[in-house]
Amino acid sequence: MVLSPARPPQEATAGDSVDAVITVSGLVKRYGTVEAVRGIDLSVARGEIFGFLGPNGAGKSTTISVLCTLLKPTAGTASVAGLDVNRDPDGIRARIGLVFQDPSLDVQLSARENLLFHAMAYGVPRSQRKQRIAQALTTVDLTDRADALVSTFSGGMKRRLEIARGILHHPEVLFLDEPTQGLDPQTRAKVWEHLREIRASTGLTVFMTTHYMEEAEWCDRIAIIDHGTIVALGTPDELKAQVGGDIVVLSTADNASAVEEIAGRLGVQALVDGESLRIEVADGSAFVPQLIMALSMPVRNVTVRRPSLDDVFLKLTGRAIREEEGEGRTAMMRAFAMRRGGR
């Protein structure tokens, strides 16, 4: 199974691309006194999978709601599929698919009935409804449960059904708000598999939010958002390149003094991240021997690795995006790695 469809042409990633499907400029959204989005600019090219990455409360859902015309922008402009969110909300709604952060299925209807409602509401011609519904169900592997009530579905099945529903009317852009939140690692990997399959076969533009770092790695480009502003934007590799070289993670008997010794003797700044210290260096393997020599306290363990988006986020904001995620995350990385053919 091919899981890495061709990336869109690189020039399309330029912010002012002619073929931009989504353009946002100076977007601000206030809820009363809460400023959820504080002036963001971005542009998404046709066929791109664009990731919006940030911690809870960063303003991701708010941005999606504005782009999907469910909320009005307080200031700034945004256009989707060439239409302005203020001037032609109906036109936009007809051209986009949306998977909300929270479930939005009618659980008292069957999967097929949910899709039928959607097909009718989006004006899919009667002659095509049956076939499109069958196809959408096949895409997300739900054909055998098509006539079961959605109330009997697991979280993962519901999510997949919502994705099927989102693409049923052949939208130009599919918005996904945390499509894999709360799913187990296997199911998350499966959802991603479906998404990439759909993109590969239809050239659909995907705008998705997530707070799972490793999911962002699967996007063509990502914007990191924190407190309502975009702090970084680029391909995952570009962002990781912002973190110089390698990451050395160590833990010692006395982390506090270790930070001082590292700064004093080696001239680099170590960041405290929970029980461990994290250092950015150009060449990790050459740095480790110096490090061991320089420290007066016992070193418990040392690891050298390539920078991840976590490191990017930590570098830009001074804190980790999500501390609570532990095992689930590594398990998922493993699931991804397996599907990627080992890495």
Partner 1 sequence: MTVDAPRAVGAVEAPAAVTRPSGVRVPLAQAVYIIWYRDIVRFRRDRVRLVMSLAQPVLYLVIFGVGLSSSIGRGGSLGAGLPASFSYLQFMYPGVLGMAVLFTAIFSAMSVVWDREFGFLREILVAPISRSAVALGKTLGGATQAALQGVVMLVFAPIIGVHLTVVSVLETIPLLFLLAFALTSLGVALSARLKTMQGFQVVMNFLMMPMFFLSGALFPLRNLPGWMTVLTRFDPVAYGIAPVRSAILAGSGLPQAAVDRVASVTIGNWVVPVAADIGVLVLFSAVMLAIAMRSFRHRD
Which positions lie near Mg ion, rule CB under 5 A?
Answer: 60-61, 101
Q: Under the criterion CB under 6 A, does residue 36 sit at the interface with ligand ADP?
A: yes
From the list Mg ion, ligand ADP, partner 1, none, which binds 59 (C-beta under 5 to 8 Å, kind-based)?
ligand ADP
Task: Name residues whose C-beta falls within 8 Å of residue 283's C-beta, 6 or more positions apart in sequence.
Answer: 245, 246
Residue of 218, 265, 213 whose CA lies nearest to 243: 213
What is the spatial distance between Cα 124 and Cα 110, in angstroms, rounded to a whole number?
A: 19
First to last CA, the chain: 16
Q: Under the criterion CB under 8 A, does residue 107 sit at the interface with partner 1?
A: yes
Q: Under the criterion CB under 6 A, does residue 59 sit at the interface with ligand ADP?
A: yes
From the list partner 1, ligand ADP, Mg ion, none, which binds 41 (C-beta under 5 to 8 Å, kind-based)?
none
Cα atoms in the Cβ-side hemisphere of radius 13 Å centred on 332: 25
The answer to whether the beta carbons of residues 218 and 53 sit under 8 Å apart is no
What is the spatial distance between Cα 173 and Cα 48, in angstroms, rounded to a whole number?
A: 10
Q: Choose the stretch contacting ligand ADP; rule: CB under 6 A; options: 5-13, 49-57, 139-147, 158-166.
A: 49-57
Exactly one of 4, 10, 11, 106 binds partner 1 (CB under 8 A); that residue is 106
Task: Name residues whose C-beta falls within 8 Å of residue 218's C-beta, 6 or more positions apart in sequence.
Answer: 49, 51, 192, 196, 336
The angle formed by the CA atoms of residues 216, 53 and 198, to the nearest 5 degrees, is 50
The answer to whether the beta carbons of residues 23 and 78 sit under 8 Å apart is yes
Least separation, in Å, of the C-beta of 130 and partner 1? 5
- 89 or 245, CB closer to partner 1? 89
- 65 or 110, CB closer to ligand ADP? 65
Exactly one of 9, 14, 26, 56 binds ligand ADP (CB under 6 A); that residue is 56
Task: Name residues whose C-beta falls within 8 Å of residue 315's C-beta, 6 or more positions apart in sequence.
Answer: 242, 243, 280
What is the spatial distance between Cα 41 and Cα 56, in angstroms, rounded to a whole number?
A: 20
**Buried/exposed code over 266-296 (b: 16+ C-beta within 10 A; e: otherwise):** beeebbebeebbbbbbeebeebbeebeeebe
Pairing assessment for the beta strands 34-45 and 246-252 based on DSSP bridges: unpaired
What is the spatial distance between Cα 289 and Cα 106, in angstroms, rounded to a whole number?
A: 60
Q: Choose the stretch contacting ligand ADP; rule: CB under 6 A; options: 28-36, 108-116, 194-202, 304-312.
A: 28-36
Least separation, in Å, of the C-beta of 65 and ligand ADP? 8
Q: Which residue type sits at 277? A: L
Q: In the numeric block, which tokens belong to residue 269?
A: 């700044």
Q: Choose the stretch contacting partner 1; rule: CB under 8 A; options: 133-141, 227-235, 287-295, 310-318.
A: 133-141
Give the x-and-dash track for 180-219 against partner 1 (CB under 8 A).
-----------------xx-xxxxx---------------
Q: Under the criterion CB under 6 A, does residue 54 sit at the interface with ligand ADP?
A: yes
Q: Under the criterion CB under 8 A, does residue 169 sit at the interface with partner 1?
A: yes
From the list Mg ion, ligand ADP, partner 1, none, which binds 159 (C-beta under 5 to 8 Å, kind-based)?
none
Least separation, in Å, of the C-beta of 226 and ligand ADP? 9
What is the spatial distance between Cα 146 and Cα 141, in angstroms, rounded to a whole number?
A: 10
Exactly one of 39, 57, 89, 234 binds ligand ADP (CB under 6 A); that residue is 57
Least separation, in Å, of the C-beta of 148 and partner 1? 13
From the list ligand ADP, partner 1, Mg ion, none, which binds 36 (C-beta under 5 to 8 Å, kind-based)?
ligand ADP
Exactly one of 17, 43, 61, 110 binds ligand ADP (CB under 6 A); that residue is 61
Exactly one of 9, 11, 14, 34 binds ligand ADP (CB under 6 A); that residue is 34
- 54 or 236, CB closer to ligand ADP? 54
**Buried/exposed code over 25-43 (b: 16+ C-beta within 10 A; e: otherwise):** eebbbeeeeebbbbbbebb
Give residue number: closest CB to Mg ion: 61
> Where does this chain bind ligand ADP (CB under 6 A)?
31, 34, 36, 54, 56-62
